[in-house]
Structure 1
Amino acid sequence: MKVALDSTLLNKVPDFKIGIIHYTKIVVSESPQMIKGRTQLYQENLFLELQDKPVTERAGISEWRKLWKSLGADPNRYRHSAESLMRRIAKQNYITPFHSAVDLNNFFSLQYEMPVGIYDINNLDGDITVSLGNGETGYEGLNGRFNSLNNIIVTSDIKGAFGSPFVDSKRTAVTENTTEALHVFYLRPSLSPKESTELLAAAGKMFTQVHGSDFTTGLLSKDQQSLEI
């Protein structure tokens, strides 16, 4: 399977980057107590921080809002997933455990202040492309409704879009039956290639400590627009 970054995004944002982690032989289950406890404590501490510093002033959230605008989307109408999670925490509406893969995915999104998506590879078909959606792009999302994704970054296979920094699709959602997954980090453009690679390695290590598995990482950017997984 090839994963590629469409040049349209690079034309608009030259430092745009996508991080990829490929997991095989994973075991998804209820999150261990260590993950539940760590996530709850992180949210409680974050809530306290957000009383003094609004969500939109957090470095990663602010950067992604600017990126949203540069691509032609309204960040107030289509909030990226990291901002949506953080706004919930600011209201003390803490994120409850779902299963180990989703829980860690949410933790990474909060920790790194960027959208992150995880997808079941068995529900993907053909090569993957990260591009900019148009007026015809959309899918049934995990939020329970059809989502139009014009001027929103989308991750697609042969069947169409399945993921985005806004909301992911039902079609490729990871479940407790998932054994092979694709983790997509919609990286902050300000991160250097070295910082991005280190972030992916750290996230992959933590994920596999919980799920078993082997993992490989890759970075899509202007210097490498495609890779094989």
Structure 2
Amino acid sequence: MKFDITDVIEKYDGVHIGVLTALGINNKTSVDGLKKLQEDAIQGAERQIGDQPPTKHPHISSWREMYRSFGTKPGDYRPSAEALIRRAIKTGELPTINAAVDIYNLVSVKHIIPMGGFDTDHVQGPIKLRLSEGDEVFTPLGASKQEETYPGEAVYADDSRILTRRWNYRDCDETKITGDTVNLVMFIDASPEISPKKIHGALDDLRLLLKLYCDGSYSTGIASKDNPVIEL
């Protein structure tokens, strides 16, 4: 299976996408030990943001501009990291879903970078980050009503469906990571303002925590203008 960003890189040539592939994980494990790390991540995000609105943080503001560039109003549809951080700061906690998802949410908040992932046993063909032609059917996570994409919208997609709308706003239901997931891929969406060093740090955190809590074997890489296609 391949991951290909050739289509979007023509318009967004400064984008880097961190990629982590996991095989043979146990995603039914307890993540009680993450509690302290989650608290630390939330407090760290609060310190980085300070007294200013979250939208002023350079990682978040850059993603809001990215959303505007493909016709999405970030006030109506917030980039995933912004939405997650706002919720975490307001409630003082992160949602509990399953080990792998809880881990990437923690790392997303810690580094203030949008992240997402798919169960690769339910993915058909290569995964592409591309611009939608419009009117492509999408079933949001946890929803029964279908939506349609609009032309020029940045999406993750495989050969049969849209996996994520608005770059990282909402994943589809069919390829969600569950407790039964054994093989997965995770993506770290870095706008041009986010340094490769930051991506490597986030990848290292993901791999370390996933190995600790879920076992399995891992590989990582970064897709970019110079390396737009990665073997998963």
Same fold flag (TM > 0.5): yes
Query: How far does residue 48 in structure 1 lie from its aligned partner after superposition?
Result: 7.4
Q: Do the aligned partners of 1:115 and 1:186 also contact (CA within 8 Å) in 2? A: yes
Is it true that 1:218 corresponds to 2:217 in the alignment?
no
Single out whichever of 187-196 and 174-183 deviates more from structure 2: 187-196
Single out whichever of 65-74 and 189-198 deviates more from structure 2: 189-198
Aligned twin of 1:156:
157
Q: Which runs of 5+ in 2 are unaligned?
A: none
| Cα distance in 2 between the residues matched to 1:77 and 1:134 | 22
Q: Do the aligned partners of 1:118 and 1:181 also contact (CA within 8 Å) in 2? A: yes
Distance 1:128 1:57, change over 3 A: same
Is it true that 1:128 corresponds to 2:131 in the alignment?
no
Is it true that 1:11 corresponds to 2:10 in the alignment?
yes
Q: Do the aligned partners of 2:44 and 2:110 also contact (CA within 8 Å) in 1? A: no
Aligned twin of 2:2:
2
Query: How far does residue 44 in structure 1 lie from its aligned partner after superposition?
Result: 5.2
Which among 206, 212, 227 is matched to residue 209 of structure 1? Answer: 212
Is it true that 1:196 corresponds to 2:167 in the alignment?
no
Distance 1:142 1:189, change over 3 A: same
Query: How far does residue 190 in structure 1 lie from its aligned partner after superposition?
Result: 2.3
Distance 1:46 1:199, change over 3 A: closer
> Which residues in structure 2 correspond to 1:80-229 (within 5 Å)?
80-92=79-91, 94-144=93-143, 145-150=145-150, 151-163=152-164, 164-229=167-232
Q: Do the aligned partners of 1:139 and 1:148 also contact (CA within 8 Å) in 2? A: yes
1:216 partner letter: S
Q: Do the aligned partners of 1:81 and 1:115 also contact (CA within 8 Å) in 2? A: yes
SS of 2:91's partner is: coil
2:118 partner letter: Y
1:34 partner letter: G
| Cα distance in 2 between the residues matched to 1:26 and 1:89 | 27
Query: How far does residue 37 in structure 1 lie from its aligned partner after superposition?
Result: 2.9
Distance 1:173 1:192, change over 3 A: same
| Cα distance in 1 between the residues matched to 2:93 and 2:153 | 26
Q: Do the aligned partners of 2:115 and 2:186 also contact (CA within 8 Å) in 1? A: yes
1:2 partner letter: K
| Cα distance in 2 between the residues matched to 1:63 and 1:89 | 20
TM-score, normalised via structure 1 length? 0.88
| Cα distance in 2 between the residues matched to 1:57 and 1:119 | 30
Q: Do the aligned partners of 1:133 and 1:154 also contact (CA within 8 Å) in 2? A: yes
Query: How far does residue 208 in structure 1 lie from its aligned partner after superposition?
Result: 1.5
Single out whichever of 19-28 and 60-69 deviates more from structure 2: 60-69
Q: Which runs of 5+ in 1 are unaligned?
A: none
2:172 partner letter: S
| Cα distance in 1 between the residues matched to 2:91 and 2:168 | 23
SS of 1:131's partner is: strand
1:74 partner letter: K
Aligned twin of 1:60:
59
Distance 1:42 1:221, change over 3 A: closer
2:154 partner letter: I
- Count residues with an aligned counterpart: 228
